[in-house]
Amino acid sequence: MKTIQGIFIALMLGIVGLHAAVEVESTEAFSSYTEWDKETVDLFASLPVQDGGRIKPMDSIARFAMFRMHQVRGMSFVLKDSKSGETQKIKLTPAEWLMDVFFRTEQAKAYPTFRINDSDVAIALGIKPKKKRDKYSYNELVPGRSKLSELGGKYREMQAKDKDSLDRIQTLILQLNANVNEFEYLMAYFEFAKKGYFFNADMFDEEARKLAQRIVISELLKRMPEVKFEALINEMQRGLQSNDEEQRILGNTYRLLLASATFSSAISIIPPAGDDPDEEWLSMGEVIRQATEDKSKRDDLLPWIQSVETLVAALPDPEKFKTALTNFSEKVNAAAKSRNQGGTVALELKYYRADLFFYSMIIFVLSFILLTVTWLRPEGNTARLLRRVTSGGAIIATLLIVIGMIVRGMIRDRPAPMTNLYDTVLFITAFSVVLCLIIEWMTKKRIGLALAVILGAGGMLLSLKYEMKDAGDNMDPVQAVLDSNFWLLTHVVAINIGYGAGLVAAAFSHIYLIGRLFRFRNDDREYYRDISRMAYGTICFAMFFSLLGTVLGGIWANYSWGRFWGWDPKENGALLIVLWCLVVIHARAGGYIREIGVNVLSVFLAMVIIFSWWGVNNLGVGLHSYGFTDGLWLILGIYWGAETLVMAAGLILSARDGAEKRLKKEQRKAAGNKQASEPA
């Protein structure tokens, strides 16, 4: 299919593109906005489709498509009628937006869909720039569409040769080109059923556009002989170049058929006939192509094409459209059910709408704010009450994470709580909070409680940032290397418990080093001794689970790859964590380091953990080179630089403590000399 697309797109150079801003000027086709019926939106949102190797609701497609282009999951803008001057505030959910892209294409072109994070991108495309960061419509980007396509192709080739070769503006242009291409394919998805309509009409001459008003694809396919697409392309070219009117009509007919199959390929929405679970679902373009090439399949495929034609024809009447969409939805669901697929579509729809992780972050942040109030007046009934509320908030927020992870496992039909980097962020955040709360329960020092809400808020913020950066579905099937079994499940859990414990130990050490550096509670030596004990004990805990996870990983590797150890970068990273924990433990037991040394080495442990957790995946080598994150090395470099400064605080503290000890020693000596010189 990709080959045919490439050939056809090469023949049809001339696609247009882009989108609007905060205030949208209306056109005749868009002088006001009519909301979709809620039941209709729910029907559309719950349509099962196959994407990324699994069955999911159409709402998930809409959600991530909008997120990639618009960078938020919701669209809000003001429509201004150019004639009357009246304004209308419009808010669109992802599903409503995608419905407009599919069925109200001319309107959707005017929506502020595309966020451009630097006006230099607009300048490079030769279009009028707005603010430094702003939203643009498809229509506004049309003047720069050919330039965008040219630069996008050029930068894609550069990136293929060297992924670090692009600067910031070039990267933004490459992303924008990908987003515009995706938007165009979404706009064109049901175009074959819209008689005489083309979102990019300029690529067809007047003769083809008139012909399109009369052609019904399902009727055409009923009468066509069986023909391969390669032959169809040749026949199209021959007909278009002919002087004979009938041949030209035939050439344009094939041209429209090719366009229908090519541009209706964005989403796999049709379950195939049969019950083979490994057989992939079909896009409408693939349905058209298979019906063209194999006459024996037409009886199964043509009803799908006719269903879509009926759906599109019913658009002017909301009730008829709802009925047609209901029939189409029931047909798709029945076909999916017969293949034992689509059973988690409703659950996934509820999962994303519940937005558990976002509310978890909000609760953590509010809990932290409440806790800071108690710092102003640590004692008293009010402070105790606020600390209880903070503890309750941390527990509730953690439960939301746990529930979210369980639901994700149910949707993916996998027992493993972690199958990608995003999952590990959730797991480590939840575990770190639980560990801090347990330490607080054991010590009653209020330090564990503070770290619980700080780490919880920070971890959930990281998960949201990662999701924004990735802008993809983090529940798609995992890499083959992570195909789960018992040893993988236990290995991944143990390793990530080790990660979480090591990071909690480092968090305690940050409090120790920074607190002492700025002389917070400077006279309370017992306070800092307790922090050091917490850090050291947590390092021991981290060492045990890191070692256990490493051994279990070796057992899994032996089952999966036929060898226990292969010096893979991820294996080396896990080994480094174990070795560094042993260095800290032995150095402390041998008396080579004391409180400051333990805390400095604990901070370095966090640097090792972050490398094993994130950095190894970006090396691009080894059996664990999955989860590449663009731009990560810069972030890691900044993090490691900041942590180096925190470790340097240990040197300052050592020098300061040494100077204070010498001063006290001299003072005692001077006091002794003075006492000795006094007469008895």
Q: Which amino acid type is present at position 295?
A: K
pLDDT, one tens digit per residue, over 330-340 is 999 999 999 99
* Three-state secondary structure call for residue 18: coil
Q: What pLDDT was estimated at residue 13?
A: 28
pLDDT at 14 over 60: no
Tokens of 341: 């697929």
**Whether residue 528 sits in one domain with residue 455:** no
pLDDT, one tens digit per residue, over 201-245 is 666 777 777 787 788 888 888 888 888 888 888 888 888 888 887
Residue 433 domain boundaries: 355-478
| DSSP string for residues in 42-90 | HHHHT-EEEETTEEEEHHHHHHHHHHHHHSSS-EEEEEE-TTT--EEEE
pLDDT, one tens digit per residue, over 435-489 is 999 999 999 889 999 999 999 999 999 998 888 877 778 887 765 555 556 777 8
Q: What pLDDT was estimated at residue 9?
A: 32
**Whether residue 501 sits in one domain with residue 648:** yes
Q: What pLDDT was estimated at residue 30?
A: 67
With pLDDT > 90 as the criterion, what percentage of the chain qualifies? 52
Closest by CA position to 138, among listed 92, 105, 174, 90: 105
Across the range 508-533, mean pLDDT stands at: 90
Residue 525 has phi, psi (to 5 degrees) of: -65, -30
With pLDDT > 70 as the criterion, what percentage of the chain qualifies? 90
Q: What pLDDT was estimated at residue 160?
A: 85
pLDDT at 290 over 90: yes
Q: Which residues touch 155 (CB under 8 Å, ≥6 apart)?
A: 166, 170, 171, 173, 174, 177
**Whether residue 448 sits in one domain with residue 395:** yes
605 belongs to a structural domain: yes
Q: What pLDDT was estimated at residue 23?
A: 67
> How many C-beta atoms lie closer than 10 Å to residue 87's C-beta?
13
Q: What pLDDT was estimated at residue 556?
A: 82
pLDDT at 369 over 70: yes
Q: Rounded CA gap, 182 and 199, in Å?
A: 14
Q: What pLDDT was estimated at residue 358?
A: 93
pLDDT, one tens digit per residue, over 146-189 is 999 999 999 999 888 877 788 889 999 999 999 999 999 999 99
* Three-state secondary structure call for residue 270: strand
Contact between 218 and 193 under an 8 Å Cβ cutoff? The reply is no
**Whether residue 517 sits in one domain with residue 445:** no
**Whether residue 497 sits in one domain with residue 457:** no
103 belongs to a structural domain: no
Contact between 656 and 644 under an 8 Å Cβ cutoff? The reply is no
Confidence of residue 6 (pLDDT cuts 50, 70, 90): very low
pLDDT at 19 over 50: no
Last residue of a domain, one of 460, 478, 496: 478
Which segment, 320-329, 549-558, 565-574, is predicted with the most confidence on average? 320-329
454 belongs to a structural domain: yes
pLDDT, one tens digit per residue, over 40-98 is 999 999 999 999 889 999 999 999 999 999 988 889 988 877 777 788 889 999 999 99
Which segment, 193-202, 254-263, 271-280, 507-516, is predicted with the most confidence on average? 507-516
**Cα dihedral 244/249/255/260 (nearest 10):** -170
Q: What pLDDT was estimated at residue 535?
A: 95
pLDDT, one tens digit per residue, over 404-413 is 999 998 998 8
**Whether residue 539 sits in one domain with residue 675:** yes
Predicted TM-score (pTM) of the model is: 0.86
Confidence of residue 3 (pLDDT cuts 50, 70, 90): very low
Contact between 549 and 494 under an 8 Å Cβ cutoff? The reply is yes
Confidence of residue 531 (pLDDT cuts 50, 70, 90): very high
Closest by CA position to 545, among listed 420, 432, 450: 432
**Whether residue 417 sits in one domain with residue 376:** yes
pLDDT at 628 over 60: no
> How many C-beta atoms lie closer than 10 Å to residue 541's C-beta?
19
**Whether residue 495 sits in one domain with residue 391:** no
* Three-state secondary structure call for residue 19: strand
Across the range 619-635, mean pLDDT stands at: 65
Last residue of a domain, one of 453, 478, 503: 478
pLDDT, one tens digit per residue, over 598-621 is 999 999 999 999 998 888 877 666
Q: What pLDDT was estimated at residue 278?
A: 80
Q: What pLDDT was estimated at residue 564?
A: 82
Q: What pLDDT was estimated at residue 22?
A: 45
Last residue of a domain, one of 433, 456, 478: 478
Q: What pLDDT was estimated at residue 428?
A: 96
**Whether residue 474 sits in one domain with residue 486:** no
Confidence of residue 519 (pLDDT cuts 50, 70, 90): confident
Q: Which residues touch 599 (CB under 8 Å, ≥6 apart)?
A: 508, 509, 512, 513, 531, 532, 535, 650
Q: What pLDDT was estimated at residue 330?
A: 95
**Whether residue 520 sits in one domain with residue 592:** yes
Output 275 or 258, whichever has higher pLDDT: 258
Confidence of residue 623 (pLDDT cuts 50, 70, 90): low
Surface-to-core class of residue 177, CB atoms within 10 Å of its CB (0-12 exposed, 13-18 middle, 19+ buried): buried
Q: Which residue has the tokens 């729910």?
A: 42
Across the range 628-651, mean pLDDT stands at: 85
600 belongs to a structural domain: yes
186 belongs to a structural domain: no
Number of domains in the chain: 2
**Whether residue 601 sits in one domain with residue 577:** yes
Surface-to-core class of residue 523, CB atoms within 10 Å of its CB (0-12 exposed, 13-18 middle, 19+ buried): exposed
Q: What pLDDT was estimated at residue 216?
A: 87
Q: What pLDDT was estimated at residue 11?
A: 33
**Whether residue 509 sits in one domain with residue 466:** no
Tokens of 584: 């800290």
Q: What pLDDT was estimated at residue 546?
A: 94
436 belongs to a structural domain: yes
Across the range 543-559, mean pLDDT stands at: 89
Q: What pLDDT was estimated at residue 224?
A: 85
536 belongs to a structural domain: yes
166 belongs to a structural domain: no
Indicate the average pLDDT of the chain: 86
